[in-house]
Amino acid sequence: MNSNNDIEKIRKEIFDLQAKISAWDNAYYNLDSPEVPDEIYDVEFNKLKALEEKYASFFSDEELKNSPTRKINALASDLFKKVKHKRPMLSLNKAYSLDEIQKFIDNIKKITSDFSFFIEPKIDGLSISIIYEDGKLVRAITRGDGITGEDVTANVVQMSCIPKTIEYKESLEVRGEVYLAISDFEKLNLKLGQENKNKLANPRNAAAGTLRQLNSQIIKERNLSAFLYYVVDPLQHNIKTMQEEHEFLKTYGFPVTHEVQHANTLQDIEEYIRNFKNQKLLIDYETDGVVIKLNEVQYFDKLGSTAKFPHYAIAFKYEPNVETTTIKRIYATVGRTGLVTYNAELEPVEISGSLVSFATLNNFQYIKDLNLNENDLVYIKKAGEIIPCVIGLISGKKEIDHFQKVEFCPYCHNKLVDSETGLEQFCSNDQCPEIQRRKLIHFCSKDGLDINTMGERNIDLFLKNSLISNPIDIFNLKNKKQDLLKLNRMGEKSIENILISIDECKNKPLYKMISALSIPLIGVKLAKFVASKIKSLHNLLNYDFSQLIDYHEIGDKIINSIISWISNDFNKKLVEDIINLGYDLKDENESITNLLENKSFVITGTLGHPRSYFERLIEKNGGLIHSSISSKTNYLLAGENAGSKLQKANKLNITIITEEDLFKMIGQ
């Protein structure tokens, strides 16, 4: 039996949770500035939902009806004209387990035994409704609070992916999600950084903030995208299933996601969820789950809805991979470029099957924004399921109490310098022992020369015993065999394997060496491009890199970075010494044709071979591969289900080729 004190304590906990989540909703929906990551929101939202269900008898219906679990906490902005929706734009109920999906299915079984499902990604963007009359776009409205939204027509017409006219002449309302492609988001943040402006937190924020700009020209510049997935009143358009609806939208030129599937059973749904968990890491837009819809439209009205959710669809969200622990210590490390990263030593906690004792805190601004300090109770997750990351405080602090900025390099004690944006710190001492150590580790890593016997452990051992201090020392280890034999763990066989793997670097492609040299801004992809131009390592020091300025994705910053690096006397001598030791590596594509030289390609759709096959084929014949379409793109290699890239290529009059066309171009 609960005492009055217990009941009041539970009521207070629930009211406090409701207030906290409502504040988060306001920041997310109305201010386009989320205060917490989705994972923390989901943990607290699920906690509130469970408490409300368990203790519903402690509350009146009136007290619960305004809970964020029962209504959409979004408002229409005063900056735009407010428009009432013809039909409410509802949100979706969430499921985190197959059991919850089974309950969703069981509810459908109460209405009919003849049903199937249509599954698609849950796009992380801003909901939009677009109305057409006589085939012309006449109005676009945001979701707002689900009843009333904002008229953003002037902005939506600036989006190249949205058709302004369609062949279908009946009155039509379609709904979907506006988003910013991950590649476009990265370009936008790079530009903002160069302009000394604050970077945007994530693609969803960027999309929502952009669509609500009063200057519609910004919409055009930022290249917003959209997926449409719903036709209002589908039966009036003779659409009987969600699968037919998808085809209808595609037929009339609306952008649709291609990661869709028809399903009949819970097992089919489970398979899609399992497969999409990996697939979503490869697509160029952010998703926050999977949407499972009843395929048969005729049952939608019978199933009904709550004030917030329809009962014909549910959103599956992957279980938040989040745990709680305490920060024991905060400290800074320095990478091979001199970039400072802040880290946390944690009370050990198990997450995703492994014990985690350390996590990244990114930079000082991240610590400041989250108000983090030692001894704080925090949420952590595995970013990309690999790197543990602190993502927020369990309980907010009323006062500012964050860890203080590190002013001096913890390794060489030189004063750290801030970047132009003030978001990063760097150790500018080229001879900093940690920078040199990190460069050696990178030199031997998979992204470098891939010397698999020279891992971090062996590099640290050789550094400690003064056997290496720079890359040349690695190539000269063959002259220090007796010194190596004196080390613990180093037997004849181990040493022989190390020396063989180092000598085998003579057979590595040139781009591996270019990437290994740690030239700022030159990763593996650009190293391949540079290698295709200079052909051999000895040309690195005398090649005229300024002539590359007209290439897509090669700008002043990259060219100046290369020129600055090769102008440094230490770097010049390093390259010359590597060549003199017999490591004048050649471009692996040197013997292949230059038939595609200076031509840029984008690849999309399903082809007869894996995408990597065509990338390699194009690069081997002198061509360039890019991830996104622009006016500088020469060719779009398009397979089946080509999608939005095909539409954009058509609008920009870019030549579209098949794989057969490509083979003809290179004489195969």
Give the per-residue pLDDT at 320.
Answer: 63
* 293 known member of a binding site: yes
* 409 known member of a binding site: yes
Identified catalytic residue from 20, 49, 94, 122: 122
Tell me the C-alpha distance between 206 and 183, whole Å: 12
Phi-psi region of 225 (alpha: psi -120 to 50; beta: other; left: phi over 0): beta
Reported as a pLDDT band with limits 50, 70 and 90, residue 162 is very high
Tell me the C-alpha distance between 668 and 662, whole Å: 9
What superfamily in CATH does domain 2-70 come from? Helix hairpin bin (1.10.287.610)
Q: What integer is the mean pLDDT of 114-138?
A: 93
Give the per-residue pLDDT at 414.
Answer: 96
Q: What integer is the mean pLDDT of 532-549?
A: 87
* 38 known member of a binding site: yes
What superfamily in CATH does domain 323-411 come from? Nucleic acid-binding proteins (2.40.50.140)
Q: What integer is the mean pLDDT of 470-484?
A: 93
Whether the predicted pLDDT of 270 surpasses 80: yes
pLDDT higher for 491 or 256?
256
Give the per-residue pLDDT at 76.
Answer: 47
Using alpha carbons, select from 460, 537, 451, 445 the residue that is nearest to residue 497. 451
Tell me the C-alpha distance between 475 and 464, whole Å: 18
- As a whole-number percent, the residues of the chain with pLDDT over 70 amount to 91
- As a whole-number percent, the residues of the chain with pLDDT over 90 amount to 41
Tell me the C-alpha distance between 392 and 251, whole Å: 45
CATH 1.10.3720.10 fits 433-543+560-580, yes or no: no
- Tokens 């036709």 belong to which residue? 231
Tell me the C-alpha distance between 241 and 116, whole Å: 9
Tell me the C-alpha distance between 519 and 555, whole Å: 15
Give the per-residue pLDDT at 588.
Answer: 67
pLDDT higher for 116 or 319?
116
Digit-coded pLDDT (tens) for 37-76 = 666 777 787 788 888 878 877 787 777 777 877 765 554 4
How large is the C-alpha radius of gyration of the chain? 29
Q: What integer is the mean pLDDT of 581-586?
A: 88
| Average per-residue pLDDT for the chain | 86
Q: Is 122 a catalytic residue?
A: yes
* 508 known member of a binding site: no
Among 25-39, 140-154, 466-480, 514-528, the range scoring the smallest mean pLDDT is 25-39
Whether the predicted pLDDT of 591 surpasses 50: no
Digit-coded pLDDT (tens) for 197-255 = 666 767 887 887 788 776 667 777 788 899 999 999 999 999 999 999 999 999 999 99
Give the per-residue pLDDT at 312.
Answer: 95
- May I ask the CATH architecture of the domain 93-317? 2-Layer Sandwich (3.30)
Crossing angle of helices 569-580 and 556-567, in 10° steps, is 70
Residue ranges of domains in the chain: 2-70, 93-317, 323-411, 433-543+560-580, 600-666
Residues pairing with 418 in the sheet: 425
* 177 known member of a binding site: yes
Digit-coded pLDDT (tens) for 355-407 = 889 998 988 988 998 899 999 999 888 755 567 888 888 877 778 889 999 99
Digit-coded pLDDT (tens) for 611-620 = 767 887 887 7
- Report the SS3 class of residue 289: strand
211, 152 Cβ separation under 8 angstroms? yes
Query: Among the CATH numbers 3.40.50.10190, 3.40.50.1980, 3.80.10.10, 3.90.1150.10, which is that of 600-666?
Result: 3.40.50.10190
* 288 known member of a binding site: no
* 535 known member of a binding site: no
